[in-house]
Amino acid sequence: MSDIDLRLREDVHLLGELLGNTIREQYGDAFLEKIERIRRGAKADRRRDPTGDAVSAELRSSLDDLGEEELLPVARAFNQFLNLANICEQYQLIRRRDEGQPEPFENLALGELLGRLTAAGHSPDALARQLVALDIELVLTAHPTEVARRTLIQKYDAIAAQLALHDHRDLTSAERNAVRERLQRLIAEAWHTEEIRRTRPTPVDEAKWGFAVIENSLWQAVPNHLRRVDAALQAATGQRLPLGAAPIRFASWMGGDRDGNPNVTAKVTREVLLLARWMAADLFLRDVDQLAADLSMQQASAPLLAHAPDSSEPYRTVLKQLRERLRATRNWAHASLPGDQPADAQVLQDNRELIEPLQLCFDSLHACGMGVIADGPLLDCLRRAVTFGLFLVRLDVRQDSTRHRGALSEITEYLGLGRFDDWDEAARIDFLVRELANRRPLLPTCFEPSEDTAEVLATCREVAAAPAASLGSYVISMAGAASDVLAVQLLLKESGLRRSMRVVPLFETLADLDNAGPVLERLLQLPDYRGTLQGPQEIMIGYSDSAKDAGTTAAAWAQYRAQETLVNICQAHGVELLLFHGRGGTVGRGGGPAHAAILSQPPGSVAGRFRTTEQGEMIRFKFGLPDIAEQNLNLYVAAVLEATVLPPPLPEPAWRTVMDELAGQGVKAYRQVVREHPHFVEYFRQATPEQELGRLPLGSRPAKRRQGGIESLRAIPWIFGWTQTRLMLPAWLGWEAALGAALARGEGDRLASMRAQWPFFRTRIDMLEMVLAKADAEIAALYDLRLVEPDLQPLGAQLRDLLSQCCTAVLGLTGQTHLLAHSPTTLEFFSLRNTYLDPLHLLQAELLARSRAREAALDSPLEQALLVTVAGIAAGLRNTG
Query: Which residues are known catalytic residues?
Result: 143, 548
Q: Classify residue 421 by its DSSP letter.
A: G
Structure letter (DSSP) for residue 416: T
**Torsion angle defined by CA atoms of residues 185, 191, 192 and 198, in that order, rounded to the nearest 10 degrees:** 140
Cβ atoms within 10 Å of 651's Cβ, excluding its own: 21
CA 589 – CA 548 distance, rounded (Å): 8
Distances (CA, A) of 507 to 243, 319, 475, 541: 37, 47, 10, 5
Please, which residues have CB within 8 angstroms of residue 324's CB and are 6 or more apart in sequence?
A: 346
* Whole-number Å distance between alpha carbons of 675 and 670: 8
Closest-CA residue to 46 (of 856, 865, 833, 868) = 833
Instruction: Kindly give, in sequence order, each residue whose CB lies less than 8 Å from that of residue 672, ignoring residues fewer than 6 positions away.
Output: none
Angle between helices 680-687 and 777-787 (to 10 degrees): 90
Residues in CB range of 863: below 8 A, 6 or more apart = 695, 851, 856, 857
Per DSSP, 391 falls in state: G
Helix (H), strand (E) at residue 490 = helix 482-494
Asked whether 595 and 113 are in contact (CB, 8 A), the reply is no
Q: Which residues pair with 475 in a beta bridge?
A: 398, 504
* CA 788 – CA 722 distance, rounded (Å): 14
Phi–psi pair at 440, nearest 5 degrees: -80, 150
Cα separation, 281 vs 292, whole angstroms: 16
Quickly list H helices, 378-437.
Answer: 379-387, 401-414, 425-437
User: In whole angstroms, how far apart are CA 550 and each of 544, 685, 731?
Assistant: 10, 20, 11
Cα maximum dimension of the chain: 90
DSSP string of 11-28? Answer: HHHHHHHHHHHHHHHHH-
Q: How far apart are CA 446 and CA 86, in angstroms?
A: 59
Is 287 in contact with 319 (CB distance < 8 Å)? no
Q: Secondary structure of 157-174 in the HEC alphabet?
A: HHHHHHHHHHCCCCCCHH
Rounded CA-CA distance 536/804 in Å is 45
CA distance 297 to 315: 7
Distance CA 857, CA 4 (A): 46
* DSSP code at position 638: H
CA torsion 797-799-805-806 (nearest 10°) is: -150
